[in-house]
Structure 1
Amino acid sequence: MSVARSELKFRAPPSMQLSDGSAKSKTSPPNHVHSKTTPLDRARARFAVTGNAIVTGGAGDIGSVACRALLEHGLQGLAIFDLHPDSGQTTVTSLQSDFPEAKITFTKVDVTDPESVEAAVANAEQTIGPINICLCFAGIAFAAHALDITPQQFKTMFDVNTTGSFLVAQAVAKRIAGGGNGGSIILMASISAHIVNFPQPQVHYNAAKAAVISMKSSLAAEWAVHGIRVNSISPGYMDTILNEGDGLAEHRAIWANRTPYGRMGNPEELTGAVVLLASKAGSYITGADILVDGGISVF
């Protein structure tokens, strides 16, 4: 509702606070690895992952591979959030067998439900300890012509992919900020935030992922003062269950042929970006989006 200019009251918007980078700040340089250690030890220390992580969508093809990579690089505690209990428990059982020293849990979480998210994050902290890493990888995707998409379909795409990522990131960031030791939040974006996909029409998905890219930059700016790095990863066409099934053969061929590398990606090929952003090696990286797409976005 519009009001007369004379009726407008003084409104001072909140202002961001940036870190000064001093030794007392949350963004001071990391400690150097001792020069007397071996080159192999220094390499391991550089990409070591420490602390505890929450991974949403952690039972999916990409999420489960990311969980394993974090554990391989030293993660001590892992809380998997997913909507599917059967695949979630299967993932936990497999990972716990390979990493018996780690604390690994599963919680059924609807990332679009603020109360569910808050309760799950609080429970994760009580179970595995303070969270310093969060991967917001839960998401949905489907193709539809723009003339046919219903308002509810458009809204649902944003609810899960964009708002859901924000709710989890916010809940985790509040705890990291209160703890004072900083952390890393990684959002799942997509090449769809950068290019128009072909041949499938999916304006709702593309717009939702573009919003994730913008959100990543805003959160990186706001939360740096708390020592929280916020980045995103934009996968290309990945060979996952979302891109399998009857009727997709023609699309898969087109995706591969339009990619300079001539093929779809494997979820394992995303783990380098995950480990980089979660480890000491990424200590000065925030507000970035890493494209892992075989080059398709260059066109």
Structure 2
Amino acid sequence: MNLFNLSGEVALVTGAGSGIGQAIAIGLAQAGADVACFGHDSRGGLEETAGRIEALGRRSLALTGTVTSEADLSAAISRIEKQLGPLTIAVNNAGIGGSDPAETMPVEKWDRIYDVNVKGVFLSCQAEARVMLARKKGSIINIASISGSIVNRDLTQAHYNSSKAAVIHLSKSLAMEWSRRGVRVNVVSPGYTLTPMNQGERNKVFAAGTPMGRLAEPEEMVGPTVFLASRASSFVTGLDVIVDGGFVCW
């Protein structure tokens, strides 16, 4: 359907070197977009993602930087606009995890989680919106987690859980600020997903606690993201789309 066609669109995906970010970057290209891949290391996964996008007949860039640096983000967007065209879609996926008991958690670990997961998302949105607002056109999708809505059983993640809750509320706040200026901001909150950051024996526990009886594949985040990036969601902003196999229902 043309409603979901992203031909002529230019997208940026942060944390595109592996897992959910890689799957979404490739999925946006499959829907027709040219896609820039942003990450802290251009080798390995980031270059692989860009190569797979180009194999689909779409244009791509592999851009190195960190989402905690205003300069890196500004330089990346400037290069995207010069080489690919006006940025119209942004998926802010870069993030880190962690598990530390609250009563003994070093403040450095708290700060690191918030630096990447919250400050990094804000700076990304800010840099992206500056070019989008000028043209009154753009869709920003922030990748949060069900951990922003529920507390993970038997995991000590006060820093991670609260950072993802912050991403959700930040996104709603930005959606309202920019709602009449042509830029939509939404969230995709994955449930337990088979990614390099989520491996090990606990996957059996996560699967057992999911009504659908399994973990998600990274590619299962593509459909919701394409929906939020496309004209199919032209009247949707400030929404948190939970993609979790029913986990938060229990």
TM-score class, shorter: over 0.9
Query: 1:49 and 2:35 equivalent?
Result: no
* Counterpart contact for 2:53–2:59, Cα < 8 Å: no
What is the CA–CA distance in structure 1 between the aligned matches of 2:53 and 2:87, rounded to whole Å?
19
CA contact (8 A) 2:191 2:247 kept: yes
**Structure 2 equivalent of residue 195 of structure 1:** 150
Corresponding residue number in structure 2 for 1:78: 35
Give the 5 Å matches for 1:205-220. 205-220=160-175
Check whether the contact 2:90–2:141 (CA below 8 A) recurs between aligned residues. Answer: yes
Structure with higher Rg: it is 1
Which residue is 2:67 aligned to?
Answer: 111
8 Å CA contact 2:36–2:50 kept in 1: the answer is no
Contact between 2:26 and 2:52, CA under 8 Å: does it hold in 1? no
Displacement of 1:218: 0.3
Maintained 8 Å contact 2:26/2:49: no
**Deviation of the 1:113 alpha carbon:** 1.1
For residues 71-125 of structure 1, the C-alpha deviation after alignment (integer angstroms, 9 at most, x for no partner) is: 11111x21110112112112212221222xx220011111011111111111111
Cα displacement (A) at 1:254: 1.2
The answer as to 2:127 corresponding to 1:171 is yes
The amino acid across from 2:151 in the alignment is V
2:195 to 231, 237, 240: 240
Partners in 1 of 2:36 and 2:221 — Cα distance?
Answer: 20
- The letter of the residue matching 2:186 is N
In the alignment, structure 1 residue 293 sits paired with structure 2 residue 222: no
1:92 alignment counterpart: 50
Structure 2 match to 1:3: none
Amino acid at match of 1:107: L
Q: Under a length normalisation based on structure 1, what TM-score does the superposition of the two structures give? A: 0.81
**Structure 1 residues 1-44: Cα deviation after superposition (integer angstroms, max 9, x where no partner):** xxxxxxxxxxxxxxxxxxxxxxxxxxxxxxxxxxxxxxxxxxx2
Give 1:268's match in structure 2, choosing from 219, 224, 234.
Answer: 219
Per-residue CA deviations over 1:139-168 (Å, capped at 9, x if unaligned) read: 101111112211111011011011101111
Give the percent of matched residue pairs that are identical in Structure 1 and Structure 2. 36
Q: What do you get for the CA RMSD once the two structures are aligned? A: 1.0
Contact 2:208 2:214 (8 Å CA) reproduced: yes
Does the residue aligned with 2:180 lie in a helix, a strand or coil? Answer: helix
1:69 matched to 2:27? The reply is yes
Q: 1:155 aligns with which of 111, 121, 130?
A: 111
Task: State the match for 1:27 in structure 2.
Answer: none
Structure 2 alignment gaps of length 5 or more: none
Alpha-carbon separation, structure 2, partners of 1:94 and 1:278: 20
Q: Which runs of 4+ in 1 moved over 3 A?
A: none
Gaps of 5+ in 1: 1-43
Q: Distance in 2 between matches of 1:46 and 1:124?
A: 24
